[in-house]
Every structure is written in structure tokens, then in C-alpha cells.
Amino acid sequence: MSNGQPYYASDSTIIIMGASGDLTARKLVPALFALWKEGFLADNVPIVGVARREKTDESFRQEMYENIVEHGRFKPDNEEDWNKFAKRLFYREVDLNREDDYLLLKKSLEDLEFDFNIPTNRVYYMAIAPSLFLPVVEALHNTGLIPGRDSDDTIRVVIEKPFGHDLESAQHISRELSRMLLEEQIYRIDHYLGKETVQNILLFRFGNSIFEPLLNRNHVDHVQITVAESQGIEGGRGAYYDKSGALRDVLQNHALQLLCLLGMEPPSLFRAEAIRDEKLKVLQAMAPGDPYDLSKWTVAGQFTGGEVKGTRVPGYREEDRVPKDSTRETFVAMKIMIDNWRWAGVPFYVRTGKRLPERVTEIAIQFTLPPLHLFGTVECEGDICDLVGARPNTLVFRIQPKEAISLVFSTKRPGMQYQIQPVRMDFAYDEAFDRGLPEAYERLLLDVLRGDSTLFTRSDELEAAWRFVDPVLKRLDDPNFEPEFYKPGTWGPEGSNLLLARQGHRWRVPGSEHNRAAAGEGKSIK
């Protein structure tokens, strides 16, 4: 993201530890193929899949071909096209518990570097279970695959979330990693930061001059951040999810990163360290929405079974590998304050959950109302009519799906009276640009290869986020804690509405229907 970075990646080896898993199949290799198709990946970048299963280079290539065809944004044009890419794919069988296997891998990587005529410039991607991160880095370190911190070789290690389970475990992982790696060698992925529309938050804020002066306590009434999913727990994830829950799985990382990007001060330079410093300040300034009572600023829910669009869906406790009496939260909403000069007194409401009505991620900034109601409109729903004044201006960043930025503002309704009507101005990515948006992993992998850590989480950011949610986690992990139940296909438990109602606020209904409602459409106006 920072300026001055090389345009494309060359002279590196990518080693995927855990190449038999879903992440490699669905995300990593399709993303690498897309980078190559777009000209961002030079031909001297070998990709080595490492896993325990027995495979040859040929069978690995064939498997990856099928994955790219099934999941990729780009597909091979023909056999020749595929062969050009496939010749850089290799597979090495390694039992991650056997030192000898690491030594064989070392030799094999050195041979490849010789054949490709490239220096020891390696990216190790940990596509493995979180419990293996530390032992594998340790084994790579002990066998010389990750040389000492003072070596001249360029070694980068990419780690997927979860980074720990709470503040203490995250600090432990950081401490241990720092024995073997420098902070700048560690790339902690939060794939939300790779999303084009998330990156655009900074560009929108600091690449325009008319919006930024409004983004503060003088003009913003409150902010709503929603990361909603309509699906339940995907097959095989029950055991992980039940240990994690909505707060650890999404709010602590993806949602707080969105909050940081919206809340942070402009960096003095568009460089990784400067941007991460500013995000860190936001995380450190975050405060509970109520200083005394946790239940007044956090709501946790769990979905029950029920019907969604005519089909019965299982409740959380009926999901595969979830205990029948689980109290794990599948929904969490929080009122967060940012105690700094810019945002003091402005609530940031953040919510995330599974089995909500739709998959949608958005940030909505609701501005204060004009100081005086000079105009009104008579609005009727059935026989009931109301005199309605100005509605608040709302600026919405739609991260997904249908990536867009919309602004709701008031206009004069055509006619012989001064009647006020909200309307919406939309910028939709797919209408404005004729190229598809890159997948988050494309951008993130390229950034690791070119050594740009702007879009990765630094250890102090991570710790600050854990520190903030830690007291809440303790409460939710307490076996006596009962989440509030909610029906699938709804926007979460009633407590979530109450959280806002206490302040006289109301959750928006995100998505297209919402925008019609916000713009006053669907209501008759006299």
C-alpha cells in the first residue's frame, strides 16, 4: 500500500506449510494464479506446497488446477497457459513432527533456488492449525530453514488468525516468535484489510478534502459497523467456532480493524509504520460503552433453529461438532467509545453474527440533524400520518457485497410546497469500474512478497485489541453465562436493539432494502 514499493514480485520462493488444507485450495493458490495472470508474479517465483500426504509434483499440480478452475477469479485459458504457471508448482512431503523431513526440505529449497537462480528470499505461509504455528516456526528455525534474526537472507512468515485466544496467549505467541523473528518478518493476516473497499476507506478519507472535516464529534451523531453473515457454522468448523465465538472470530479482528480505519487520524506519511501507529492510538483510546455495567454495552446472542425463506435451518446447538448445551455466542454487539479529542461522546456500535438475514458488511456514519426543523413532510403508513422533519445524513461504506459508497441527504420534493425528502447518492464499484475487484488474498500475498506490511496487523495493535475485549471474553467464557437466543434470519437478539434504544438510536437495516427505507422510499408522502 505504501509508495515506492516494487510493482511486482520476483526472486522469491513461497512455501505453503499445510498445502493439503482448504485455505490453500480455495484461496492461496487461486490468488497466486490471479497475480500471475495480471502480471504481478514473475516466472522466477517457485511455489512449494508442503504437507504430510503423499503426492508428486504432478498430482499436486493437477489438484491445484482443479482448485483454480473451481474457486479462482481467473481460470487457465488453455493447456499451454496452465503449463506456464504450473511449472513453478512443487510439492514436498513433510511430517511436521520430524526433524529429518525439515532437513530434506531445506536441501530441496536450496536446490530450487539454485535452479531458478534466485537468492534465499522466502515466504513461509502458515496455512496450518493455530496450535502448530509456534512448533513449526521453531522447527524451521532449529533446522536453519529460518536463519537467525541477524542473517542477510530475506525471510518472511505469514500467520493466519487466530493469534491467540486471549490477551495472555497472544502475548505468549508474540514473545516466542520474537525470539526467532524480527517484527518486520512477521505478517499477521487479517483478510479484511485486503478487501479493496476496506482499503478505500483511507483513500476516501484522506484523498478527498470535503468529508474529512466532518468526521468528528461536532458532526457525527454515531457510527454503526455491521459484519453480518447469513450462513450458520460451515461443515467441520464447529469445534473451532465453539472455542472461539463471534467476539474472537470476527469482532476482535475484522470489525475492530474497520473501526480503526474510520477512527484514525491521518498519518503524516502513507507508510506502514505511520498508518499502524495511528490505528494503534485508536485501539488504545477505545473504552467500554458503559463504565460500570458490561451488560449495558455488550450483548451476546446465539441462534436457534427455525425457518429461513421457507427452509428449516439447524440451531447452533444442532450444528456439527457443537455441544448440545453450548453457551457460545454466535452474535455480539457492542457500544464502544473512543476517548480522544476527535471522537469523545460519539458511540460506535459494532455488531457481528451468523444466521442473520444476509451477508453484508458496512460502516454507516450517521451525522447530526440540522439545528432547526424548517421543513417537514407528511408521511403516511396506511391511515397513520406523521409530520416528519429532516432525516440525518448518512454516509455508508458498503464493504460487501455490492461494494459501494452512498450518501443520504435531503432534497425538496417537487411540488407547490416545501416538503423535505431524503434521497440517496450512490457510487457503485461495479458501475464505475469495468474491472473486477481483486480478492483480498491476492493483494495480501503480493504485499508480503514485496515486503509491504501496511495491511498486516502489528503485535502491539493485536495486543491492544485483545486487551480491550479481554474482560468481555472472561464473561462470555464463564460456564454460567447464557447468551440471548435469536431466531435465524433475524438481526440478532432483542438486547441488541435495546443497546441502541437506550441512546435513542436504532440499527439500520443494511443492504439495498435499507437504503430505500433510509431514503424514505416505500412510504407515501402527502
Least CB distance to ligand BG6 at residue 190 (A): 8
Under the binding rule (CB under 6 A), the answer on residue 242 touching ligand BG6 is no
Catalytic member of 141, 191, 222, 254: 254
- 256 grid coordinates: 475492530
Least CB distance to ligand BG6 at residue 191 (A): 6
Compare residues 63 and 229 and give the one whose CB is closer to ligand BG6. Answer: 229
Least CB distance to ligand BG6 at residue 352 (A): 9
Q: State how far the Cα of 303 lies from the Cα of 305, in Å rounded to an integer.
A: 7
CB–CB of 8/39 below 8 Å?
yes
Integer CA distances (angstroms), 55 to 33, 52, 324, 361, 446, in order: 20, 9, 39, 39, 27
Least CB distance to ligand BG6 at residue 400 (A): 6
> Max alpha carbon distance in the chain (Å)?
86
CB–CB of 88/82 below 8 Å?
no
- The three-state (H, E, C) secondary structure of 291-317, written as one string: CCCHHHCEEEEEECCEEECCEEECCHH
Q: State how far the Cα of 514 lies from the Cα of 508, in Å rounded to an integer.
A: 7
With contacts defined by CB under 6 A, how many residues of the chain interact with ligand BG6? 4
At 11, which amino acid appears?
D
> Of 113, 196, 242, 249, which lies in the binding site for ligand BG6, with binding defined by CB under 6 A?
249
What residues from 34 to 73 belong to the interface with ligand BG6 (CB under 6 A)? none
Compare residues 302 and 361 and give the one whose CB is closer to ligand BG6. Answer: 361
CB–CB of 217/342 below 8 Å?
yes
Under the binding rule (CB under 6 A), the answer on residue 229 touching ligand BG6 is yes
Compare residues 240 and 485 and give the one whose CB is closer to ligand BG6. Answer: 240
Q: What track of x and - describes contact with ligand BG6 for positions 353 through 392 (by CB under 6 A)?
A: --------x-------------------------------
Q: State how far the Cα of 99 lies from the Cα of 437, in Å rounded to an integer.
A: 42
Compare residues 45 and 476 and give the one whose CB is closer to ligand BG6. Answer: 476
254 catalytic? Reply is: yes
Which residue minimizes CB distance to ligand BG6? 249
Compare residues 189 and 464 and give the one whose CB is closer to ligand BG6. Answer: 189
Least CB distance to ligand BG6 at residue 229 (A): 5
CB–CB of 32/64 below 8 Å?
no
CB–CB of 60/92 below 8 Å?
no
Q: Which residues are catalytic?
A: 254
Q: Where on the chain is the footprint of ligand BG6 (CB under 6 A)?
A: 229, 249-250, 361
